[in-house]
Structure 1
Amino acid sequence: MSGAIRLAVFDCDGTLVDGQHEICAAMDEAFLALGLRPPAHGAVRRAVGLSLPQTMRHLASEEGIEIQTALVEAYKTAYRTARAEGRVSEPIFAGIRLLLDQLREEGWDLGVATGKSMRGLLHCLQVNALSDHFVTLQTADNHPSKPHPAMLQAALDQAMALPADAVMIGDTTYDIAMARSAGVRAVGVAWGYHPASELIAAGAEAVAMTPADLKDILG
Structure 2
Amino acid sequence: MSDSKAARARPIIVFDFDGVIADSHDVCAAACRWAAAELGHSDMPEKPFAELEAVTYEALAATISVDPERFAGLVCGALEARTTCAPIFFGVADIMMELSRDFDIAILSASDSDLINDFLITHGIWHLVKCVMGRDVPGSKTEKLLALKSAHDGKFVAMIGDGVSDVAAALHADVRAVGVAWGWQSARRLRASGADAIAMVPADLLDLIVVQELTEAPTR
Assess, with a 3 A threshold, how the Cα gap between structure 1 residues 209 and 115 changes in structure 2: closer, same or farther.
same
| Alignment length (residue pairs) | 203
- Correspondence for 2:169: 178
**Residue in 1 that maps onto 2:76:** 76
Structure 2: tracts of 5 or more residues without a match: 1-6, 211-220
Do the aligned partners of residues 201 and 48 (structure 1) sit closer, same or farther apart at CA in structure 2, a change above 3 Å counting? closer
Decide which of 87, 93, 104 is 2:89's aligned counterpart. Answer: 93
Q: 1:46 to 1:15 in 2, by over 3 A?
A: farther
Match of 1:204 among 195, 200, 203: 195
Q: Secondary structure at the match of 1:78?
A: helix
**Alignment counterpart, residue 8 of structure 1, candidates 5, 13, 38:** 13
Aligned to 2:98: 102
Root-mean-square deviation over aligned CA pairs: 2.1
Determine which structure has the larger helix proportion and give its number.
1
* Alpha-carbon distance change, 121 to 17 in structure 1, aligned in 2, over 3 angstroms: same
Q: Which runs of 5+ in 1 are unaligned?
A: none
The offset of 1:166, in angstroms, is 2.3
The secondary structure found in structure 1 opposite 2:159 is strand
Q: State yes or no: 1:50 paired with 2:55.
A: yes
- Go from structure 1 to structure 2 and tell me whether the alpha carbon gap of 1:38 and 1:141 turns closer, same or farther (over 3 Å shift): farther
Name the SS of the counterpart of 1:36 in structure 2: coil
- Whether 1:120 aligns to 2:115 is yes
Identity of aligned residues (%): 27
User: 1:130-181 CA distances to partner (integer Å, 9 max, x unpaired)?
Assistant: 2111112111212345xx40121232244x241x532101111111111111
Q: For the Cα contact (< 8 Å) 1:7–1:161, is it kept in 2?
A: no
Query: Tell me, what secondary structure is at the counterpart of 1:167?
Result: strand
TM-score by length of 2: 0.83
